[in-house]
């Protein structure tokens, strides 16, 4: 995929619906328990599926032996030491990826910016990651919907698996938007804004949940700097929910020592996942409930999707 294609994808309006193919095809991120025998050898015929209780044909099952595109988004604004630890961990994990993996590098400050097209050139990726500055305003909340749309567009256009990972040190107080809920009536001790200062953060997360539920690419978040004040705890809990809603995970590091393992875990999960492609019924509800089985193997998968009408 070229820079031009990525830039065209990034130009899609924020209000645009996910690709139309999604109304009839659903791509479900799935993990097979690594303790199960021959987990990596699973094929489409090994899976069975239901959507809203009705049998759904399995059209394809792309697994670890198939192509993989990772969109790596860096959201570094605050701590040079944490960013340096993340740089080295990212470079190490990218070096471990199989040959069928391509990584695109993006940055989330001042809108989503493409720094490097999807590539298998590990040296070029290492150079680009080392060159990313630590500055600006936090960008996760402002760019994650666009990044998910870009990832889903790739997923719909190519027979590959796609994963989206944010590595961020974002602080809720470092956004351009002010999420500190002001006290409306300072003389009223019962004022709800006084009792629930995280209200604006929760409102933002709820809106993003509704939007991201329509996308299929699993989102992984590695947060480099866990913060324990009330507003940041609400923010961190919210972005973890966003990742889990997509089928991915959120990891929060309390020290520099935890960063390499958190990044390694996210890359392992992305590299090991299946993209199971289902044909969904013509008559469909807005919210789809998915059931999957694969012989006697133990599966972890996203089971709830929203279809944009």
Q: What is the pLDDT confidence band of residue 1, given thresholds at 50, 70 and 90?
A: very low
Residue of higher predicted confidence among 74 and 194: 74
pLDDT score recorded for residue 37: 56
Query: Region 64-85: what's the mean pLDDT?
Result: 96
Domain ranges of the chain: 64-182+189-272
Query: Region 130-148: what's the mean pLDDT?
Result: 96
pLDDT at 125 over 70: yes
pLDDT score recorded for residue 185: 46
The rounded distance, in Å, linking the Cα atoms of 307 and 176 is: 31
Q: Which of 133-137, 242-246, 295-299 is the least confident region? A: 295-299
Give the pLDDT confidence of 167-224 residue by residue, as tens digits.
Answer: 999 999 999 999 886 545 445 455 444 445 788 999 999 999 999 999 999 999 999 9
Q: Which residue, 266, 239, 221, 289, is CA-closest to 28? A: 289
pLDDT at 8 over 50: no
Q: What is the pLDDT confidence band of residue 38, given thresholds at 50, 70 and 90?
A: low
pLDDT score recorded for residue 4: 42
pLDDT at 67 over 50: yes
Query: Region 15-26: what's the mean pLDDT?
Result: 58
What is the per-residue burial (b if ≥16 Cβ within 10 Å, else e) of 3-17? eebbeebbeeeeeee
pLDDT at 303 over 70: yes
**Residue-by-residue DSSP string for 184-205:** S-TT-TT-HHHH-TTHHHHHHH
Give the pLDDT confidence of 249-274 residue by residue, as tens digits.
Answer: 999 999 999 999 999 999 999 999 99
Q: What is the pLDDT confidence band of residue 309, given thresholds at 50, 70 and 90?
A: low
CATH architecture of 64-182+189-272: 3-Layer(aba) Sandwich (3.40)
Helix/strand/coil for 107: strand
Is the whole-model pTM more than 0.85? yes
Strands (E), 4-75: 25-32, 47-51, 54-55, 58-62, 68-75
């Amino acid at each position: 995929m070229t820079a031009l294609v990525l830039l065209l994808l990034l130009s899609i309006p924020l209000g645009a619906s996910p690709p139309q193919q999604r109304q009839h095809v659903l791509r479900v991120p799935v993990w097979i328990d690594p303790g199960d025998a021959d987990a990596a050898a699973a094929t489409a015929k090994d899976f069975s599926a239901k959507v809203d209780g009705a049998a759904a044909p399995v059209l394809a099952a792309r697994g670890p032996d198939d192509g993989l595109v990772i969109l790596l988004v860096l959201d570094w604004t605050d701590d040079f030491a944490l960013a340096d630890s993340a740089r080295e961990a990212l470079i190490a994990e990218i070096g471990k990826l199989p040959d069928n993996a391509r990584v695109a590098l993006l940055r989330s400050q001042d809108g989503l910016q493409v720094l490097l097209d999807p590539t298998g050139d590990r040296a070029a990726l290492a150079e680009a990651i080392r060159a990313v500055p630590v500055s600006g305003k936090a960008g996760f909340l402002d760019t994650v919907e666009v990044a998910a749309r870009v990832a889903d567009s790739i997923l719909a256009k190519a027979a590959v698996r796609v994963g989206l990972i944010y590595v961020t040190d974002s602080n809720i107080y470092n956004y351009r938007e002010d999420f500190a809920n002001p006290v409306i009536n300072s003389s009223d001790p019962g004022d709800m804004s006084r009792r629930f200062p995280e209200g604006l953060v929760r409102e933002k997360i709820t809106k993003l949940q509704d939007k991201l539920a329509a996308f299929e690419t699993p989102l992984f978040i590695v947060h480099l700097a866990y913060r324990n004040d009330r507003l940041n705890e609400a923010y961190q809990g919210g972005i973890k929910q966003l990742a889990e809603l997509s089928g991915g995970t959120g990891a929060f590091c309390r020290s520099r020592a935890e960063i390499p393992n958190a990044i390694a875990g996210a890359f392992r999960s992305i590299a090991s996942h299946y993209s199971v492609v289902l044909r969904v019924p013509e008559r469909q509800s807005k919210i789809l409930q998915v059931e999957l089985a694969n012989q006697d193997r133990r599966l972890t998968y996203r089971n709830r999707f929203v279809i944009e009408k």
